Amino acid sequence: MNVTQAVQSRRSVRQFVDKPVEQAALRRVLEKAQRSPSGGNTQPWSAVIVTGDELARITAAIKAKAATAPLGEGGEYDIYPRGLDGRYEEQRRAVGKAMFDALGLTREDSAGRIAQMAKNWDSFGAPVQLFTYTRKYMGPPQWSDMGMWLQTVMLLLREEGLDSCAQEIWAMYGTYMRELLSIDDEHIFFCGMAIGYRDAEAAVNNFDVPRVQVSDVVRWEGFE
């Protein structure tokens, strides 16, 4: 698999098959992903990778928490900026609509939509979670570095035949996530990442997620 194939075949997978993931494959991915770049080579990413009984413990705990605080509690950063607007807000809404449309969940079916969102807590059926965090004093450049590392991980997972879904929804309960993962107060929880093998037939894994044109985000200067 070349880089283009890895990029093109990666998508956020929201239904995984019941198939275990070999720890050796994850080790290979994480060893290689250490080559990700970061400003000043600070390598600001940290993670806990969880499976089996330990993942079941966290899943049960967060579901209990979500039942008592459905709108979140102890979030340590804004998942989206307040006042998100224009094309950013339109794109955010559009991907949600595309997913619910693929599943036949209408606007009126709020119970169905909530049930779909709640599948986040089951890692969409994936057997592995990668929970990420960094030091609280890290700023936007280091958060960007974390993103580079996450994308490197996601692409290398494709090379192993594995799939993923980054999940910042867990940050709705950031402080509690740190408690569950024994991460101290000097750190901030970032996101989870469900890892496993995709259910290739599932409608939720087959809807189109469009991108804006390059010309909408890049200005060319000085080219002939």
Binding site for ligand FMN (CB under 6 A): 11-12, 14, 95, 120, 165-169, 191, 209
Min dist CB 160 to ligand FMN, Å, is 18
Task: Map tokens 């949600």 to a residue.
Answer: 96
The first and second tokens of residue 219, run together, are 């200005």
Nearer to ligand FMN, 81 or 222 (CB): 81
Nearer to ligand FMN, 82 or 219 (CB): 82
Min dist CB 81 to ligand FMN, Å, is 14
Nearer to ligand FMN, 17 or 98 (CB): 98
Nearer to ligand FMN, 120 or 142 (CB): 120
Min dist CB 63 to ligand FMN, Å, is 15
Min dist CB 144 to ligand FMN, Å, is 12
Question: In what helix (H) or strand (E) does residue 25 lie, and over which residues does it extend?
Answer: helix 23-33
| Crossing angle between the packed helical segments 110-118 and 86-102, to the nearest 10 degrees | 100
What is the distance between the alpha carbons of residues 46 and 130, in angstroms, rounded to a whole number?
A: 10
Residues 6+ away with beta carbon under 8 Å from 124:
13, 14, 15, 16, 165, 194
